[in-house]
Amino acid sequence: MGVDLGRERILVTGGAGFVGSHLIDRLIGKGHDVVCVDNLLTGSKRNIDHLHGEPRFEFMRHDVTFPLYIEVDRIFNLACPASPVQYQRDPVATTKTSVHGAINMLGLAKRLKCTILQASTSEVYGDAQVHPQTEDYWGNVNPLGPRACYDEGKRCAETLFFDYRRQYGLDIKVARIFNTYGPRMQINDGRVVSTFVVQALRGEDLTVFGDGRQTRSFCYVDDLVEGLVSLAETPDGVTGPINLGNPVENTMLELADLVLALTGSRSRLVFQPLPEDDPRQRRPDISRAQSTLGWTPGVPLAEGLKRTIDYFDTLLSAGSPDIAEPEIRAVS
């Protein structure tokens, strides 16, 4: 059983991003006031356009690596680029966002004595040698490779969260999010679902990295948001970490075939080199989320992909100038 949040003023960092904007919709729908803090690095005003004029919503353009003094009742800390292509563009900034951002948001939570939830990631498990991944697995991360800015940044943020709990008694919640997809992903952010869908809709080749036999488990964004809100509503002492993701595992070849079938596209598959340190297999063990939160994702991949395809189809048909050409292709 969760605690009833009542009407609160809630800070969502990274709120103009893909997941953050859906989370904000859900929180406003539950009757809360929301402050969205975002520097628009990988997010977009388009994701929060529909909230313009909504009295419960406030947007602050701000970088979480700098201190933030505001008054709120609860914090969701999501600010951080999440796509490998994006987080590797400026790796130093990525680590700063995870680490300095966590310190500032934890300092804010400490002053306000409020609950803070961290959007952590399955990347803390790295190229996992335990499958499926359970929360007590410590992971297999290359600390020197191109993904380390994100993986180690997120690992350090988790360390900070647990130290603020031990040292100052903060009410922390850590969600380890597995690959999530849906409407409002950036059209050119390089993540596999948005990339395949956009390529298929444009009739371009689908770029499969490696032999395409590596696996991921894809969670539809509405399911993830439900899990995040449930975790935030748990009583003090339920800290996680808790895996949130869909336990159905697919190869990238299966994903490509499904996208082609659902779009009716005649695009071909082209194979490109596998990026360095790309994890070979990933699937969450969600027993902890099921027993602690009563949470299980409900949207099957084909259904979630249909909604995602509809979103990108509409966006592409609208022909907005900022989406004319994908500026990013692959990590080399």
Residue 111: how many CB atoms within 10 A of its CB?
Answer: 10
Told to check if 180 binds ligand NAD by CB under 6 A, we report yes
Residue type present at position 230: S
Task: Classify strands 215-217 and 249-251 as parallel, antiparallel or unpaired.
Answer: antiparallel
Told to check if 14 binds ligand NAD by CB under 6 A, we report yes
The residue among 149 and 293 lying less far from ligand UDP, judged by its C-beta, is: 149
Q: Which residue from 222, 218, 249, 230 is spatially nearest to 291, judged by alpha carbons?
A: 230
The encoded tokens of residue 55 equal 């009295």
Please, which of residues 191-220 interact with ligand UDP by CB under 6 A?
191-192, 195, 207-209, 214, 216
Q: Compose the 116-155 pattern: x for residues touching ligand NAD by CB under 6 A, - for all others.
A: ---x-x----------------------------------
Q: Compose the 270-309 pattern: x for residues touching ligand UDP by CB under 6 A, - for all others.
A: ----xx--x-------------------------------
The residue among 97 and 214 lying less far from ligand NAD, judged by its C-beta, is: 97
Residue type present at position 27: L
The answer to whether 69 is a known catalytic residue is no
The encoded tokens of residue 230 equal 């449930």
Helices 252-263 and 192-202 pack at an angle, to 10 degrees, of 40
CA distance 21 to 48: 6
Instruction: Name 247's Cβ contacts closer than 8 Å, sequence gap at least 6.
Output: 132, 217, 283, 284, 285, 286, 297
User: Nearest distance from residue 85's CB to ligand UDP, in Å?
Assistant: 7
Q: Compose the 59-88 pattern: x for residues touching ligand NAD by CB under 6 A, - for all others.
A: ----xxx------------xxxxx------
Encode burial over 135-154: b for 16+ CB neighbours within 10 A, e otherwise.
bebebebeeeebbbbbbbbb
Q: Which residue of this chain has its Cβ atom nearest to ligand UDP in the complex?
A: 107
Q: Compose the 183-202 pattern: x for residues touching ligand NAD by CB under 6 A, - for all others.
A: --------------------
Residue 325, classified by CB atoms within 10 Å of its CB into exposed (0-12), middle (13-18) or buried (19+), is exposed
The residue among 18 and 312 lying less far from ligand NAD, judged by its C-beta, is: 18
Give the angle 219-225-229 at the CA atoms, nearest 5°: 140
CA distance 230 to 311: 26
> Of these residues, 87, 125, 150, 220, which one is catalytic?
150
Told to check if 113 binds ligand UDP by CB under 6 A, we report no
Q: How many residues bind ligand NAD (CB under 6 A)?
A: 28
Residue 165's binding partner among ligand NAD, ligand UDP, none (Cβ under 5 to 8 angstroms by kind) is none
Q: Catalytic amino acids? A: 150
Write out the residues near ligand UDP by the rule CB under 6 A. 67-69, 83-84, 103-104, 107-108, 110-111, 179, 191-192, 195, 207-209, 214, 216, 252, 274-275, 278
Write out the residues near ligand NAD by the rule CB under 6 A. 13-14, 16-20, 38-43, 63-65, 78-82, 97, 101, 119, 121, 177, 179-180
